[in-house]
Structure 1
Amino acid sequence: MNTFGWPQAMRIISLLFVTALIVLPLSATVMGGFKTPGDLTTNPFGLPRVWHPEFYAQILTDQSFWQYLWNSLYISVLTALLTLLIGSMAAFVFSQIRFAGSEFIFAYILTGLMFPFAAAIIPLFIKVRDLGLLDTPWGVIWPQVAYGLAFSILLFRTFFDQLPKELFEAARVDGCGYTRFFFMFTLPLSMPIIATVATFVFVGSWNNYLLPLIMLNGREGYTWTLGMLQFRGEYIVEWNKILAFVTLSLAPAIVFFLAAQKYIVAGLTGGAVKG
């Protein structure tokens, strides 16, 4: 019979503390969208004294809000798809094919995890400008793909290394080459890690602020992270509308993350131990 002791109590307290760190800021953001600026200043974390749903209604009826969401969705989906395709193919090569310098190249790619994104923003801006991609969605997509490859290749290779080698040997006996084996066998067996990488890349791209700020100049191409700047003027900041805007904009990413949660756990733990 299990007894409830201090280890279990400390575990519950730790989980409640972590949950509070996540839930309280989110609830304050949601509630802040229903408050007036004065109520938000005097009562930032409590329930609204008077509920004002018209702030949310104004944003939902604004055509620019949906344009910002569409721009973010377009950039995030393409970033995720390209990262999945390129990252999985590169990881398959490192996992299944042994060639001279493969470990050195793999280690060199992983060094990309050591450098912060902001460290290369100036040379990145110059390169994007020289390629003629400035103020276009591709000026944001390709840099995000490049910076997401190291993380995705690491996860994909760890997962691919756990796939049974006998499966590929049997496929080679039947005349199946690397390309056919990758698309017909490896990818269908890798749905957990695909969902994991796709979720991290999509959410990271959806919430990216610095890169769109540098690469996009025209308001018609703004993502939602730049769109909320319309509520910040020279002399006044409408924080209640900014919080409502952020709440509505984060909803798709949260729903996407919750829907893929079980696949994320399966993908992260799939290569943790060898069966």
Structure 2
Amino acid sequence: MTTAVLRAPGAAEPPVESRDRPAGRRFDWGQPFVYLIALVVIGITIVPILYVILGGFRSTGQLANRPNALPDPWIFENYTSVLQTPSFWTQVGNSTLAALVTTLGVVTLGVMAAFVIARYEFRGRGALYTLFTVGLLFPLSVAVLPLYLLLQNLGLLGSLAGVIAPQIAFALPVTIVILVPFLRAIPAELEDAASIDGASRIGFFVRILLPLSGPGLMTVGVLAFVGSWNGYLLPLLVLNDPAAFTLPLGVQAFSTQYSQDTAKVLAFTSLAMLPALIFFTLAERRIVGGLTGAVKG
């Protein structure tokens, strides 16, 4: 004998429990492992940075006696001494100028080149894009000797211009590889509608395409800024005047001058990396969004 179950018309069907698993949510044993790996990676990344920053608040004697301890007492003299050094602010200015000009050049030239590759059909377009992609395989260290001779012939050795120009050139491949998918993903109907409304190609590029490519532009801009700020090999190759040193070279010179004062060297290193660290952290979401958009495109 069966019993009929009456339901109101339009009522939703009750959930059917799977016969293969009990009611309730099954515990996923893979999640704790993923979190453990993430915590290990975060620890490997953050712990050295915290050690450098906290080490600047200690004395060299404290670092020698108890390397892994917290500052006790906290010593602020190391940081104040570095901030009162005129050469530190000169190097901050040089690094800021080089990073800003490099970022502007990379974004401007990169988006113009990516616009042509992504939106126009011409002979050799695929080969040109492949050429920029292959450029990712050649690091700066491979081109040290020819680059040095080229800058010497151009008279750019010893100046920030000799640092900025190669930085822009070596940052263009990754910039174009990231931006081309963004620009290709923009519907052609928008360009047709803008053309019907009387907008020129340049007008479409400036008024419509650039705003829609904001996440990608932010991504390549942040990467170019941080890469320039942290650049060491190129300034070491080009700059020979201490007045033109950027912060990575300043850290080297300072550590050589105060090799016996480890705590002060850690304080200088902390202050040197802090702007790029803060800038990168604040722009992290835009970087991830930009790279995601590039992958989707």
TM-score (norm 2): 0.88
Aligned length, in residue pairs: 274
Measured in 1, the distance between the counterparts of 2:47 and 2:200 equals 53
Shift of 1:230: 3.1
Which structure 2 residues correspond to residues 114-133 of structure 1 after superposition, within 5 A? 114-133=137-156
Shift of 1:32: 1.3
Shift of 1:140: 0.2
Stretches of structure 2 lacking an aligned partner (at least 5 in a row): 1-23
Measured in 2, the distance between the counterparts of 1:176 and 1:148 equals 31
2:155 alignment partner, SS class: coil
Query: CA RMSD, aligned part only?
Result: 1.6
Measured in 2, the distance between the counterparts of 1:38 and 1:44 equals 9
Which structure 2 residues correspond to residues 93-242 of structure 1 after superposition, within 5 A? 93-233=116-256, 236-242=259-265
1:65: which partner in 2? Answer: 88
Measured in 1, the distance between the counterparts of 2:213 and 2:192 equals 18
Measured in 2, the distance between the counterparts of 1:20 and 1:235 equals 29
1:251 aligned to 268, 274, 294, which one? 274
2:122 alignment partner, SS class: coil
2:110 aligned to 87, 93, 96, which one? 87
Is contact 2:258-2:264 (8 Å) kept?
A: no
Measured in 1, the distance between the counterparts of 2:223 and 2:26 equals 38
Shift of 1:261: 1.8
Cα deviation per residue 1:174-228 (whole Å; 9 max; x = unaligned)? 3323222111111111111111101111001000011111101111110011112
Query: Which AA in structure 2 matches 1:248?
Result: L
Tell me: CA distance 1:222–1:234, structure 2 relative to 1, closer, same or farther (3 Å).
closer
Mean Cα deviation higher: 263-272 or 68-77: 263-272
Tell me: CA distance 1:225–1:165, structure 2 relative to 1, closer, same or farther (3 Å).
same
1:50: which partner in 2? Answer: 73
Is contact 2:179-2:294 (8 Å) kept?
A: no
Stretches of structure 1 lacking an aligned partner (at least 5 in a row): none
Is contact 2:251-2:268 (8 Å) kept?
A: yes
2:11: which partner in 1? Answer: none
Paired-residue identity, %: 38
Is contact 1:231-1:237 (8 Å) kept?
A: no
Is contact 2:102-2:228 (8 Å) kept?
A: yes
Measured in 2, the distance between the counterparts of 1:92 and 1:237 equals 53
Shift of 1:64: 1.2
Larger radius of gyration: 2
2:289: which partner in 1? Answer: 266
Query: Which AA in structure 1 matches 2:254?
Result: F
Shift of 1:237: 4.2
1:18 and 2:46 matched: no
Query: Which AA in structure 1 matches 2:135?
Result: G
